[in-house]
């Protein structure tokens, strides 16, 4: 029975097909950024901050996306500081309720930035590679394994300090370009290593966010580099930028990213129009109001709205708040499944 086959698509195939703009049996529930929460940490006894640097704990916590939550993907890189730590940035690794952050300043100019020859052998990067290898072994035939390599703009925040770097973009634009050119090599290196370890696709967060950086800045500093990264990293890529980004989506669309993980501050239908189906939109369930403070019904409602608007890759808009209730997170894949288990035509929503 054709219908039955369509409804038994493997999660991995569903994610990759949706990301390629191909037909899927139902929208994929996907986590391009972290969905680790305190309750998931407690369930499998794999907690922050140890889970950021211990491959076994990282693996155990990451696989809960599939085993406990029911997403179609697993993504083990919970923080945004792994490769910055490997570069030598000072990191406060936080605790169970707080994310790691880079503190201090590693460089004042491009010439200060050196990518160590053993950057992929440092504990913070090696742990990610070991975890992806193990996740691929455990789940890789069935579930999409997503890696994460930070873009040069975010790396520059960590290396220079966010405020310093943003000032540089005004005072020393050439120095900014030189710095991004150095840092993008780490994006490629870490991305390729994760592909070699078994990642099916990569999230590439590069926080040129709406409130910090204008659309013109995106075009001036990042569009060309992002285009180059899409050419050089040989797997499907999802760009992640938080905040209001509709004003830069036409530039993002032209880079070659397979997907763009976008924030609920953006209108879904308008965003889809801008993307013209050349780059798939991924997201954009609201974190603070809906997933963190809202009810299961509110999550269901928002998932249905997103699907009705035309999204085929559904998930939280950004890294999930660590105190998010598990039932709200579970409501994302549950709603998709509930709405697509009857014998309706695939893709027709709630029926
Ligand atoms: Zn974000």
Query: In the numeric block, which tokens belong to residue 42?
Result: 């407690």
β-sheet bridge partners, residue 147: 202
Q: Where are the beta strands (DSSP E) in the chain?
A: 28-29, 73-74, 90-92, 101-103, 144-148, 201-205, 237-240, 259-262, 280-285, 313-316
The whole-number pLDDT of residue 342 equals: 56
Confirm if 321 and 288 have CB atoms less than 8 A apart.
yes
Provide φ and ψ at 302, rounded to 5°.
-70, -35
Q: Model confidence over 85-107: pLDDT tens digits?
A: 999 999 999 999 999 999 989 99
Residue 319 CA, ligand 1 centroid: distance in Å = 6
The two tokens of residue 48 are 């922050």
In a domain, 334, yes or no: yes
- Total count of domains within the chain: 1
Domain assignment of residue 68, yes or no: yes
Please, are residues 206 and 171 in contact by the beta-carbon 8 Å criterion? no
- Asked, for residue 351, whether it belongs to a domain, the answer is no
Q: Which pLDDT belongs to residue 208?
A: 94
Q: Give the pLDDT score at 348.
A: 40
Ligand 1 midpoint to CA 127 (Å): 22
Tokens of 277: 């189906």
Specify if 345 maps to a domain. no
Count the alpha carbons within 13 Å of 214 in the hemisphere toward its beta carbon.
Answer: 5
117 within domain boundaries: yes
Domain membership flag for residue 350: no
Domain that holds residue 69: 2-339
DSSP state of 344: P
181's CB contacts (< 8 A; 6+ apart) are 110, 152, 225
Confidence of residue 7 (pLDDT cuts 50, 70, 90): low
How far away, in angstroms, is 3 Cα from ligand 1 center? 37
Q: What one-character-per-residue DSSP string does 218-231 give? A: IIIIIHHHHHHHHH
pLDDT of residue 251: 98
The CATH number of residue 55's host domain is: 3.20.20.210
Total-model pTM? 0.95
Over residues 208-258, the pLDDT tens digits come to 998 899 999 999 999 999 999 999 999 999 999 999 999 999 999 999 999
pLDDT (tens digit per residue) in 42-61: 999 999 999 999 999 999 99
Distance CA 249, CA 267 (A): 12
Q: Residue 241 C-alpha to ligand 1 middle, in angstroms?
A: 6
In a domain, 32, yes or no: yes
CB 202 within 8 A of CB 158: no
Residue 344 has a pLDDT of: 47
pLDDT in tens, 277-324: 999 999 999 999 999 999 999 999 999 999 999 999 999 999 999 999
The pLDDT, as a whole number, for residue 210 is 86
Mean pLDDT of the chain: 95
Distance between Cα 207 and ligand 1 center (Å): 7
pLDDT tens digit sequence for 109-140: 999 999 999 999 999 999 999 999 999 999 99
What's the 238 CA to ligand 1 centre distance in angstroms? Answer: 12
228 within domain boundaries: yes
């Amino acid at each position: 029975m054709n219908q039955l086959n369509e409804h038994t698509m493997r999660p991995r195939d569903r994610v990759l097909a949706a990301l390629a703009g191909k037909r899927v049996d139902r929208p994929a529930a996907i986590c391009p950024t972290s969905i680790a929460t305190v309750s998931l940490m407690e369930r499998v006894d794999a907690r922050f901050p140890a889970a950021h640097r211990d491959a076994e704990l990282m693996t155990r916590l990451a696989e809960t996306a599939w085993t406990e939550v029911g997403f179609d993907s697993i993504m083990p890189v919970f923080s945004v500081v792994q490769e910055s730590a490997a570069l030598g940035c000072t990191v406060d690794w936080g605790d169970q309720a707080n994310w790691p952050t880079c503190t201090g300043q590693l460089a004042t100019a491009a010439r200060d930035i050196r990518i160590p020859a053993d950057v992929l052998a440092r504990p913070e990067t090696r742990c990610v590679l070991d975890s992806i290898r193990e996740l691929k072994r455990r789940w890789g035939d069935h579930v999409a394994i997503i890696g994460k390599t930070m873009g040069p703009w975010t790396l520059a925040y960590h290396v220079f300090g966010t405020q310093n770097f943003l000032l540089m973009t005004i005072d020393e634009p050439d120095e900014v370009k030189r710095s991004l050119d150095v840092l993008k090599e780490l994006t490629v290196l870490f991305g390729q290593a994760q592909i070699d370890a078994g990642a099916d696709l990569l999230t590439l967060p590069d926080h040129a966010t709406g409130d910090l950086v204008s659309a013109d800045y995106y075009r001036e500093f990042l569009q060309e580099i992002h285009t180059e990264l899409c050419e050089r990293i040989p797997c499907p890529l999802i760009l992640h930028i938080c905040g209001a980004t509709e004003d830069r989506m036409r530039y993002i669309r032209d880079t070659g990213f397979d997907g763009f993980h976008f924030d609920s501050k953006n209108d879904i239908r308008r965003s889809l129009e801008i993307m013209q189906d050349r780059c798939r939109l991924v997201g954009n369930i609201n974190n603070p109001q809906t997933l963190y403070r809202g009810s299961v019904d509110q999550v269901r409602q928002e998932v249905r709205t997103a699907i009705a608007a035309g999204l085929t890759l559904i998930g939280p808009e950004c890294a999930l708040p660590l105190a998010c209730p598990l039932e709200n997170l579970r409501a994302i894949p549950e709603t998709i499944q509930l709405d697509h288990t009857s014998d309706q035509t695939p893709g027709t929503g709630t029926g």
